[in-house]
Structure 1
Amino acid sequence: MLRTVKVIVVMLVVLALAVAGCGGQQAKDTKDSKQTSAQTGGGQQPTGKQKILVASDTAYAPFEFQDPNTGKYVGFDMELIQAIAEVNNWDYEIRSMNFDGIVPALQSASVDLAISAMTITDKRKEQVNFSLPYYQSGQCVAVKASNNTIKGFDDLAGKKIGVQIATTGADEARKIPGAKITDYNTINEAFMALKNGNVDAVVNDYPVTFYFIQQGNKDVKIVGDLRTSEFYGIAVPKSKPDILEKVNSALKTLKENGKYAEIYKKWFGKEPPEFLPGEPPAK
């Protein structure tokens, strides 16, 4: 009898260990599944909504930046992607990264799209697909307010110029004869270098530079005319044409129902150009 009881006890212990092992493995599998879904994006959520991973350089006010009080990402681009997600019934997650890392992330499809004040260029179109244009911009020159010698692009030859890495501002600055270019990871670093006297000027997108000055940085000014006319687009991996189609369809919807104009006026204080979002009129 005693032997029989011992055998039963041993069998119960073995059975308990087996069940625990299966439960632990199931928990691990569930955890791994969640991690994979978060990493690859495009997954289906318990809500039935598609999960979209969105890359953005979240240090580029007023398009994308972190609210110091709430810690949330805010800005024109952030409200636009929220509106696009609502139209498409998407859940979305912002993946903050340096601007020069966005195109590689799109090429590897580790994100589903990127909204980051990204100018549509022929070079970038070889690497990713772009949505309809949703903003018109241009490059400007910023100098210290006390600087009266630099009055525009024509005065930058041989000067020290700060730019954000991998931007069209950096491309434009490198066309200037004899200019000494310093690339910074964020535009705020370039602005700080200007204020500290490490560079003579900063070449950057006009709305971002204007917004920076309006935030109390009156020791900086914009000089001269805009050098370029550029259009921002939402970038999508070439392997995700379905995402691109839904983005463009949503942009058209937001234009028709007035939501795009509402967001634009909130951040820029004026009506958007009539053709946006959309292709510019032929010259």
Structure 2
Amino acid sequence: MLGIMTGCSFEKPGKKEGSTIEEIKKRDKLVVGVKYDTNLFGYKDPKTGNVEGFDIDIAKQLAKKILGDENKIELKEVTSKTRVQMLKNGDIDAIIATMTITEERKKEVEFTDVYFEAGQSLLVKKGSDIKGIDDVKSGTKVLAVKGSTSVDNIKEKAPEAEVLEFENYAEAFTALKAGQGDALTTDNAILYGMAAQDPGFEVVGEPFTDEPYGIAVNKGDKEFAEYINKALKELKDSGEYDKIKDKWIKE
């Protein structure tokens, strides 16, 4: 019975006996946590069911580097709130999901080098009196996403504003369109994706924070982080990174 039970055990991506790279090769599949609700970076098209975006293409290039085939990848949906716990649980090998590198997060995960530079801004309905962060004052309702750095940043930059938090970007944008808030705040690259979906909205003002995105792996897994750093450098040196960026980020 013991032998049968042992033979029926299942491996999670994060429960490893060897190195992460060895386990991925053994499994013959890279499992990555990505966003499904972030246009231009990680967005699941409701018509096709395909998940596409800048982060997705970066993930595919990593799969190609490790396994020789960009299709040997499994994309799992994460949110700002769930992604770190999913990594710790072993549900995913890495997070590639518009995740800003912060000192606080470094206590929980191992970050790679910066793979995208963003900055926090505001999305408003065209014609709004809000033209930048200085216009966010008492009585202003700002929408943000739980677990994101945007929440802490807006509370610091505009302490008098009322901040309403949502589970994901799709819910926050729907609330903005329904008139539940005056502005939505997150990284400008994400906001440009929302504006592209609905021309009735626009990104205003200069970015008021720096938001460097990093790929996150399990804390202490420096070997895997360094492997990804080398893969990112190769992507940039070859010109492939610029092709991916130009494909998705028009601004």
TM-score range, shorter chain: 0.7 to 0.9
The count of residues paired between Structure 1 and Structure 2 equals 241
SS of residue paired to 1:118: coil
* Match for residue 115 of structure 1 among 85, 96, 100: 96
**Rounded Cα–Cα distance in structure 2 between residues aligned with 1:182 and 1:37:** 35
1:40–1:111: 8 Å Cα contact kept in structure 2? no
The aligned residue for residue 11 of structure 2 is 36
- The 3 A distance-change label for structure 1 pair 242 and 173 is same
Once the two structures are superposed, the pairs formed by residues 269-280 of structure 1 within 5 Å of their partners are: 269=250
Q: Which runs of 5+ in 1 are unaligned?
A: 1-21, 271-283
The alpha carbon displacement at 1:53 in A equals: 2.2
The alpha carbon displacement at 1:77 in A equals: 0.5
**Rounded Cα–Cα distance in structure 2 between residues aligned with 1:142 and 1:44:** 42
2:95–2:216: 8 Å Cα contact kept in structure 1? yes
CA RMSD after TM alignment: 2.4
Tell me, yes or no, if structure 1 residue 63 matches structure 2 residue 44: no
The aligned residue for residue 76 of structure 1 is 54
The alpha carbon displacement at 1:130 in A equals: 0.7
Tell me, yes or no, if structure 1 residue 186 matches structure 2 residue 161: no
**Rounded Cα–Cα distance in structure 2 between residues aligned with 1:146 and 1:233:** 35
TM-score, normalization: structure 2?
0.86
2:36–2:51: 8 Å Cα contact kept in structure 1? yes
The alpha carbon displacement at 1:57 in A equals: 2.4
**Rounded Cα–Cα distance in structure 1 between residues aligned with 2:153 and 2:121:** 10
Amino acid at match of 1:89: L
The aligned residue for residue 236 of structure 1 is 217
1:141–1:202: 8 Å Cα contact kept in structure 2? yes
**Rounded Cα–Cα distance in structure 2 between residues aligned with 1:193 and 1:125:** 32
Amino acid at match of 1:86: K
TM-score, normalization: structure 1?
0.77
The aligned residue for residue 136 of structure 2 is 156
**Rounded Cα–Cα distance in structure 1 between residues aligned with 2:250 and 2:131:** 27
CA offsets per residue over residues 193-251 of structure 1, 9 Å max, x none? 11111111111111111121122x12212222111122111011114222212111111
1:163–1:181: 8 Å Cα contact kept in structure 2? yes
**Rounded Cα–Cα distance in structure 1 between residues aligned with 2:121 and 2:87:** 28
* Match for residue 256 of structure 1 among 226, 237, 241: 237
**Rounded Cα–Cα distance in structure 2 between residues aligned with 1:178 and 1:78:** 37
The alpha carbon displacement at 1:133 in A equals: 0.5
**Rounded Cα–Cα distance in structure 2 between residues aligned with 1:101 and 1:67:** 21
1:53–1:93: 8 Å Cα contact kept in structure 2? yes
**Rounded Cα–Cα distance in structure 2 between residues aligned with 1:88 and 1:103:** 23
- The 3 A distance-change label for structure 1 pair 221 and 29 is same
The aligned residue for residue 179 of structure 2 is 197
The alpha carbon displacement at 1:50 in A equals: 4.5
Amino acid at match of 1:153: I
The alpha carbon displacement at 1:101 in A equals: 1.0
Q: Which runs of 5+ in 2 are unaligned?
A: none
The alpha carbon displacement at 1:182 in A equals: 0.8
* Match for residue 82 of structure 2 among 101, 105, 112: 101
Structure with the larger strand share: 2
Amino acid at match of 1:126: K
The alpha carbon displacement at 1:62 in A equals: 0.8
Higher relative contact order (CA 8 A, sep 6+): 2
- The 3 A distance-change label for structure 1 pair 29 and 126 is closer
The aligned residue for residue 140 of structure 1 is 121
**Rounded Cα–Cα distance in structure 2 between residues aligned with 1:51 and 1:44:** 9
Decide which moves more: 113-122 or 103-112: 103-112
